[in-house]
Amino acid sequence: MKVLRLVPDGTKIGFMRLWRVMLPISVVLSIASLVAFFTVGPNYGIDFKGGSVIEITTTSGKPADLAELRNTVGDLNLGDVQIQEFGRPDDVLIRIARQEGGDEAQQRAVFLVRDALGDGYDITRTEVVGPRVSGELARNGTLGLVVTLAAIMVYVWFRFEWQFAVGAIIATLHDVILTLGIYTLVPFEFNLSSIAAILTIVGYSLNDTVVVYDRIRENLRKYKKMPIADLIDLSVNETLGRTMITSITTLIALISLYVFGGEVIRSFVFAMIFGVVVGTFSSIYIAAPVLIYFRLRTGRPNNEEGAAAATGAV
């Protein structure tokens, strides 16, 4: 078991010595992510902007001729059409922009592409999303995220003190915002699977945060004279082994899916990998320092040492 132990017992890493540096950096990155998301914007998939997606594969098993496909589909005058390899060289993904005329026009565009391709290609998947549906999906996805965050705050507030609830919601928002921001830097589509990934990240991050918070609450009762910053360091070190094992095993599974799972789930898995890393960071350097910032009471009169720790001195 000692060979498999990633973190030795009795570690005394001073995590809270850096909270005054890490917290402002996280705030700046969060603001930059929000600005990038609402100005530059991610590469929205058809779930949010409408359109059609057609996956095809060559019947001969040979690599697809993308130049020929672009000429063939381009002659149909369907507006913005994107054609790219999708996984293997004989798989191709065709994206057709939203057509004027509603769902009927969108379906007609798909039939035109099918007829133009002929017998040289097999169609493996077709997806059509109209403008009305895409608007509903965007609203429902946002509503689901907001309701989830509100439910988290209520749950943690009832289970712990209010400082823990505020810390949990700030850490979770940090993870969500940075994940949204990373989509402006990568070529992956932002679609409904991305929303599902963000909601999964919320659950993962909250679970990690609650584990740390639970140990902090236990130690608050056990060490009533210990300064809050030292107590948080002790609690994080005590849960560090569990945190690292959970994160690493999850990352091993996600990286395997990213490499071998194919193009369909790659955007989802990428968001999950990023979220696991950011969620582990936020449990230590966002959720915990918030307790110091909001002067979490330790159930004892504040002596000079405790007051200094509560304001961030270590």
3-state SS assignment for residue 41: coil
The pTM of the full predicted model, rounded to 2 decimals, is 0.76
What is the topology classification, in CATH, of domain 15-44+134-310? Multidrug efflux transporter AcrB transmembrane fold (1.20.1640)
Whether 15-44+134-310 shares its CATH topology with 51-129 is answered: no
Among 134, 148, 143, CA closest to 191: 134
Collapsing DSSP states into helix, strand and coil, what is residue 295?
Answer: coil
Helix (H) or strand (E) holding 285: helix 266-285
Domain ranges of the chain: 15-44+134-310, 51-129
First-last CA distance in the chain: 34
> How many Å apart are CA 204 and CA 75, to the nearest integer?
48
Question: CATH number of the domain at 51-129, please?
Answer: 3.30.70.3400
- What CA–CA distance (Å, rounded) separates 91 from 85? 6
Q: What is the pLDDT along the chain (314 residues), one digit of tens a residue?
A: 454 566 666 678 888 888 888 888 999 999 999 999 999 888 887 777 777 888 888 887 788 888 888 888 888 887 777 787 777 778 888 888 777 776 677 788 888 888 888 778 888 888 777 656 566 767 787 787 788 778 877 877 787 778 888 888 899 889 999 999 999 998 888 887 888 888 888 888 888 888 888 898 888 888 888 888 888 999 999 888 888 888 899 999 999 999 887 777 888 899 999 999 999 999 888 988 888 887 765 444 334 344 444 344 33
Helix (H, G, I), strand (E, B) or coil at 100: coil
